[in-house]
Amino acid sequence: MKKVSDNKGFTLIELLISMALLGLVLAALTSLFASTNRSYSSQNMVVTMQGNARAAMDFVTRTMKGLKSITILNGEGTSDSDITFTTDETAFGGGVCTHRFSRYDSQSDGPGTLGYSYGCPTITGNRQPLAPNITRFTLQRIGTPTTRINITITAETPHPRPDTGTKGTFILTSSVDLRN
C-alpha cells in the first residue's frame, strides 16, 4: 500500500477556526450596520423637523412682511396656541382681514401642528397645516407704534432619537420690520 503524503483539503481544526473568524467578522458588520441605521434614522428625523420648522417660519415671515400695521387680538408674547391678528387690506380690495396662526392637535404642553387660516370680507380660507411637532409659537411686537415683530418657533422630533434617547429640539427666531 502506498502512503499518501500529499494531503489536499482542510483539517477539522482549520475549518472551525475559519468559521469562528467569519462569525466575528459578520458580528462586527451587523453591529456597524445597526449603528449606521440608528444614526441615519436619527438624522433623518432632525432634518425633517428642521425643514418643516423653516418652511413654517418662511411662510409666517412672508405673511408679516407685507403688513403696514398689525393688531394682535390674543396670544402675544406667550406660547399660547392661538394667535390672531388683523390687517387692513382695503387698498387691495380685501378690507380688514383676520389672520390666525394656531397650534392644534396638541396634548396640553405637547407638540402640535402649526396651522394658518385667514378671513377677509371677500375671501375666506380654511385652516392649512404649516408644520407638525411645534411646541411653541410666539409673536412679540417691538416699539410704540409697532415697527418690528419678533417671531419664535420651537419644534421637536416626533420620537426620541435612537442614538441619544432624547427628543431633538430646534428653535427658530426671526424679526420682521413693518412697512411704513
Name the one residue in this structure whose C-alpha cell is 420648522. 53
Name the one residue in this structure whose C-alpha cell is 466575528. 24
Length of the chain counted residue by residue:
180
Identify the CA nearest to 99 among candidates 76, 83, 79: 83
Identify the CA nearest to 159 among candidates 125, 128, 132, 139: 132
The predicted pLDDT at position 117 comes to: 82
Q: What is the pLDDT along the chain (180 residues), one digit of tens a residue?
A: 566 566 678 899 999 999 999 999 999 999 999 989 888 888 888 899 999 999 999 988 888 876 666 666 555 555 555 677 777 666 556 677 777 888 776 555 567 888 888 777 666 667 788 888 888 888 887 877 777 888 899 999 888 877 778 888 999 999 988 776
The predicted pLDDT at position 17 comes to: 96
Name the one residue in this structure whose C-alpha cell is 400695521. 69
Predicted TM-score of the model (pTM): 0.72
The predicted pLDDT at position 33 comes to: 95
The predicted pLDDT at position 104 comes to: 75
